[in-house]
Chain A
């Protein structure tokens, strides 16, 4: 019994390490296709930017309005007790730009675009479309995977920026429009307290990292899926779960590095 469990643990460990290795090699292979993609087949990239980025816009905007409104409501009610409601602007702005924008956008992106990428690529594998392409002397990593990964890496930072911006307006709508805070204080305090480099650039760096990791996990899970219906559905689940966990872990790491230094 014990021996079996130890064996199982060992097998799990070996499999995990192997998958990590495969994933890294795969990433390098995909990246090598970027120059040719950008200079020779930009059309592929543009259509993926539409599918991966533009089509994720709705969920991002709807969520960010909600998050912003809730932030505005909660923070205003807390701050007003201390007579500090003029700090609503920076409080909301900082939370969104540093944390909620990048993280929430990435989590939503993993659910919306990441799962779709995994399912699409996995299905192409299961129905032998990738093999067919390979046999037609077209490298599926370059033709299918590279445009999707690059589109994800470009889209997520933009989506995160939109999330923050729309969220701030949501908070403004509640805190100023509905609860009667001062509009001038909201904006001027925000402008004074949010630093271009420390807050905004760092937020962008975060979302770039998340974009790389989430999309990479999604395309790799699809490409590495067991080529059956069941395999693809498992891969899709894994892509969302692993992608989300990776975002949260990386967020902690990046926050510790960036804002405590």
Chain B
């Protein structure tokens, strides 16, 4: 692990998030935090469901703009980019959506070929070679003629991964890559993420709440809760972290700083309702 060699300067960071503030209508989602993603590393961003992990990925990809703060990817301020520049940047970003987001009308081969056909002028023979190489990397070369509805959840995600690396991106973002998979497939996907990262010299950002899996494959962790970063560090540091919010999440305690109960009046008051006067 090549964790925290902190003083390596700006070039070391692929993504820098500064004082990020965002909310939907009346709900505050992010209340100003900083995150750094280092080149070549697998960085995980963890947090309970609904904390805004997916929202964060969308901001890094420029699909949503923060209300204030900066998102800098490879030296470019995502918010200030024109549509054209943003699209140019996105060609270097691979993203794996929660359920793969394969195009249901296209078979596996055409799904992986899609970004190549859209963005390159390569002849079909070359596209074929690239597609088969990428499918081989995820172990699904034999399934290139299948339709998405014939794939299991794990296979769909692997195809989506092959599609995400089709244009040889500099960074891949994974949105909950382990959710809904059986333990064996989880192992397969974990290995793939780590191997692709190291073999292709990528940078990986994983969004997840699966503590075990994340600790096994990441170099650095961030824990989000209630709109802020409540903890960060290497997996070992995080597991040793004693702060209540981090401890609760890392060790799966049902109650703690993140309450078990949705805010409610005292149970007694609910069970023994006082007669209320109807008002207009």
| A contact residues vs B (CB 8 Å cutoff) | 1, 123-124, 127-129, 131-139, 143
Q: In the complex, which residue of chain A has the Cβ closest to the Cβ of B119?
A: A137
Instruction: Give me 19 other A-B pairs in contact (C-beta within 8 A), A128-B99, A136-B90 excluded.
Output: A127-B101, A127-B104, A128-B98, A129-B102, A131-B58, A131-B97, A132-B97, A132-B101, A132-B103, A134-B63, A134-B90, A135-B61, A135-B90, A136-B163, A137-B118, A137-B119, A138-B114, A138-B118, A143-B118
Known: A1-B280, A131-B63. A137 touches B101 (CB 8 A): no
A137 and B99 contacting across the interface, CB-CB below 8 Å: no
Interface of A is mostly: helix
Distance in angstroms between the alpha carbons of A89 and B90 in the assembled complex: 62
Q: Does B93 sit within 8 A of A, measured CB to CB?
A: yes
Q: Which of A123, A131, A137, A143 contacts B91 (CB 8 A)?
A: A137
Q: Which of A123, A128, A137, A138 contacts B97 (CB 8 A)?
A: A128
Distance in angstroms between the alpha carbons of A132 and B101 in the assembled complex: 6
Distance in angstroms between the alpha carbons of A137 and B118 in the assembled complex: 9
Q: Does B88 sit within 8 A of A, measured CB to CB?
A: yes
Q: Which of B87, B98, B280 contacts A137 (CB 8 A)?
A: B87
Task: Please indicate the chain A residues that have their CB under 8 angstroms from the CB of B46 in the complex.
Answer: none
Distance in angstroms between the alpha carbons of A143 and B93 in the assembled complex: 20
Known: A134-B63, A135-B93, A136-B90. A129 touches B104 (CB 8 A): yes
Distance in angstroms between the alpha carbons of A197 and B220 in the assembled complex: 73
Task: Please indicate the chain A residues that have their CB under 8 angstroms from the CB of B119 in the complex.
Answer: 137
Task: Please indicate the chain B residues that have their CB under 8 angstroms from the CB of A134 in the complex.
Answer: 63, 90
* Closest Cβ–Cβ distance, residue A138 to chain B (whole Å): 5
Q: In the complex, which residue of chain A has the Cβ closest to the Cβ of B175?
A: A128
B97 and A136 contacting across the interface, CB-CB below 8 Å: no
10 A-B pairs (CB sep. < 8 Å): A123-B104, A124-B104, A132-B95, A135-B90, A136-B90, A136-B91, A137-B90, A137-B91, A137-B115, A143-B118
